[in-house]
Amino acid sequence: MDLSLSGGDFRFAFNNVKFSDRLLRIEITRSSGAGDEVSCSSVVDWARDRKRRREEDNSNNKKHEEALVMAEQEPKSGGEDHEIERVTNNTSVLKVKELHISSAILAAKSQFFFKLFSNGMLESEQKQLTLKIDASEEAAVMELLNFMYSNSLSVTAPSALLDVLMAADKFEVASCMNYCSQLLLKMPMTLDSALLLLDLPSSLLMADSVKPLTNAARQFIASRYKNMSKITMEELMALPLVGIEAMLASDGLEIQSEDILYEVVLKWVKSNYSVVEERQEILGSHLARYIRFPHMTIGRLKHILSSNDFTPSVASKLVIEALFFKTESLAHQRFLLAHEQPASTSRWFAKRAYVQRPIKIVEFAAPRPQCIIYLDLKRKECESIYPASRISSQPFTLGGQGFFLSAQCNMDHLCIIHCFGLFIGMQENGSASATVTVDYEFSVRSKPTMEFVGKFKGNYTFSRGKAVGCRNLLAIPWDIFTAKNCPYFINDVLHLRADLSIRL
């Protein structure tokens, strides 16, 4: 049998006076806000109740400073080898448990007890110590004490294991934290358990042994809410804050555009926070870091500036940074994405799996309404539209009307070969009688000069739902277009440009 204190089985010594040098007096106090029992119908309800209790407890107590109170008197000699439980007359103390403990075993397993027994202060010499815990912690603390002697737990339910995990964090028992994490990691992930894991205390979320659990929880939520079109609004509105954060953090989130996603976020915030100041705090301090403002349309960014979604200072900062990103050169954007940055910052610039691909736009009001649209497509995105699909851009406004670009794979005009085409279309939600004539020119960046080369131009009088363009923009068949040596892919990205102007 391994007799090392860090890993041996010492259950024979648990609460045994013959192998103990101290008496641990555990005072179980009435739960904060007490008296009222909370009915928990799910693990999420349980988590919210536990979080409420933690917050109430933390407002009155620091983590360790008031958890332990040293008794002034020495314990009486003798003692029995079983747990002693007493009911007290103290209205705040429900009962007291007395256990015989070995300071060597507890110090070997717990940094909390190690520091307590070796700090050189008067209390480190006391033979009796009193530990005050909340009634909701009793079962977990008793399991933790048993674990420090036996290296095993008797509980298997996720909620019970998480209680023990939090107790192990509180008393700095790293081996128990790792043990609980390994058990939980082997269990099937559910929405309730994923939300519960992400709502653990911040000290636990930072622990190395818990990170695999929280990573698995985030991946579960990202996968569950990957396709926004398949999720009901009722389910989204019922998610807690940690669930919304995990969903927004995902690069693989499939949604039409960041504008649409932002609308969903606003609905969630307004549904869960009725006070404007609370909404601004949640958006600004928690959710803004996950929203990809650089990939929003100019119109939505302008609306954010004039709304009360954020405080004016936060709104200005977010919109200005997004606009700078949109107008920066391609080389500088690559620099921002390639160089080491905080995860939250790099995520801010990353594209999602948008149905409507983000664009960069430069607008001019004189001498006539005109704009330059930049649309970048990855090689995999282009390959995905073969043999007869398309990719649409975010909508943009020109001359008061909504337009979009559409890149698609189609047959050439002789129906002989597949080829890459580019079109400009007018949105269908405009005025049915509105018409506007647009001069357009499509260009593509090409090797070796890396400059944009004009490929097709014309003019067209648009009405609602109409589109025009070129079926074979590059004048090559599809297999040459997707070949590795195709001159139009630069670092596996196709850079398209559309110069558009209103004919007055």
Task: Please report the DSSP string for 230-246 in residue order.
Answer: GS-HHHHHH--HHHHHH
Q: Is residue 111 part of a domain?
A: yes
Cβ 22 vs Cβ 101: under 8 Å:
yes
Q: Is residue 229 part of a domain?
A: no
* Residue 39 pLDDT greater than 70, yes or no: no
Run of H or E residues at 398:
strand 396-398
Q: Is residue 248 part of a domain?
A: no
Cβ 419 vs Cβ 477: under 8 Å:
yes
pLDDT level of residue 286 (50, 70, 90 thresholds): very high
Give percent of the chain with pLDDT exceeding 90: 56
Q: Is residue 430 part of a domain?
A: yes
Per the model's pLDDT, the better-predicted residue between 408 and 66 turns out to be 408
* Residue 43 pLDDT greater than 90, yes or no: no
Last residue of some domain: 349, 375, 396?
A: 349
Structure confidence by residue, pLDDT tens digits, 230-244: 999 999 999 999 999
Whether 203 and 313 share a structural domain: no
- What's the pLDDT score for residue 428? 84
- What's the pLDDT score for residue 317? 93
Structure confidence by residue, pLDDT tens digits, 97-111: 999 999 999 999 999
Range from 321-335, 362-376, 379-393, 480-494 carrying the lowest mean pLDDT? 321-335
HEC-encoded secondary structure of 458-470: EEEEEECCCEEEE
Whether 425 and 333 share a structural domain: no
- What's the pLDDT score for residue 52? 55
Whether 310 and 387 share a structural domain: no
- What's the pLDDT score for residue 78? 42
Distance CA(272)–CA(275), nearest Å, equals 9
pLDDT level of residue 49 (50, 70, 90 thresholds): low
Distance CA(426)–CA(419), nearest Å, equals 23
Per the model's pLDDT, the better-predicted residue between 12 and 432 turns out to be 12
* Residue 65 pLDDT greater than 80, yes or no: no
Cβ 394 vs Cβ 259: under 8 Å:
yes
* Residue 336 pLDDT greater than 60, yes or no: no
Structure confidence by residue, pLDDT tens digits, 341-365: 444 445 667 878 888 888 888 888 8
Whether 387 and 332 share a structural domain: no
Based on the number of CB atoms within 10 Å of its own CB, is 150 exposed (0-12), middle (13-18) or buried (19 or more)? middle
Per the model's pLDDT, the better-predicted residue between 480 and 52 turns out to be 480
DSSP state of 286: I
Range from 6-10, 26-30, 339-343 carrying the lowest mean pLDDT? 339-343
Structure confidence by residue, pLDDT tens digits, 266-284: 999 999 999 999 999 999 9
pLDDT level of residue 142 (50, 70, 90 thresholds): very high
**Residue 440: how many CB atoms within 10 A of its CB?**
21
What is the rounded average pLDDT for all residues in the chain?
83
Q: Which of 28-32, 49-53, 398-402 has the highest mean pLDDT?
A: 398-402
- CATH number for 399: 2.60.210.10
119's tokens: 């700090």
* Residue 92 pLDDT greater than 60, yes or no: yes
Whether 143 and 268 share a structural domain: no
Distance CA(382)–CA(490), nearest Å, equals 13
pLDDT level of residue 206 (50, 70, 90 thresholds): confident
Q: How many domains does the chain have?
A: 3
Cβ 413 vs Cβ 471: under 8 Å:
yes
Whether 308 and 409 share a structural domain: no
- What's the pLDDT score for residue 35? 41
Last residue of some domain: 297, 326, 349?
A: 349
pLDDT level of residue 210 (50, 70, 90 thresholds): very high
152's tokens: 């095993």
Range of the domain at 49: 11-220
Q: Is residue 183 part of a domain?
A: yes
Q: Is residue 433 part of a domain?
A: yes
- What's the pLDDT score for residue 323? 85
424's tokens: 């400009």
Whether 135 and 30 share a structural domain: yes
* Residue 218 pLDDT greater than 80, yes or no: yes
Whether 438 and 379 share a structural domain: yes
Q: Is residue 5 part of a domain?
A: no
Q: Which amino acid is at 165?
A: L
Backbone angles phi, psi at 73, to 5 degrees: -95, 155
pLDDT level of residue 216 (50, 70, 90 thresholds): very high
Whether 363 and 495 share a structural domain: yes
Asked whether the whole model's pTM tops 0.75, one would answer: no
- What's the pLDDT score for residue 347? 61
For helices 258-272 and 241-248, what crossing angle results, to 10°?
A: 170
Cβ 405 vs Cβ 359: under 8 Å:
yes
Last residue of some domain: 349, 376, 404?
A: 349
Whether 191 and 298 share a structural domain: no
Q: Which amino acid is at 486?
A: C
Backbone angles phi, psi at 387, to 5 degrees: -100, -10
Range from 196-200, 317-321, 338-342 carrying the lowest mean pLDDT? 338-342
Which single residue is written with the structure tokens 């010594």?
13
Structure confidence by residue, pLDDT tens digits, 69-87: 443 333 444 444 455 555 5
Q: Is residue 202 part of a domain?
A: yes
- What's the pLDDT score for residue 89? 54
Structure confidence by residue, pLDDT tens digits, 432-468: 667 899 999 999 999 999 999 999 999 999 998 899 9
Whether 331 and 366 share a structural domain: no
Which single residue is written with the structure tokens 């920066």?
328
- What's the pLDDT score for residue 5? 47
- CATH number for 111: 3.30.710.10
Whether 148 and 42 share a structural domain: yes
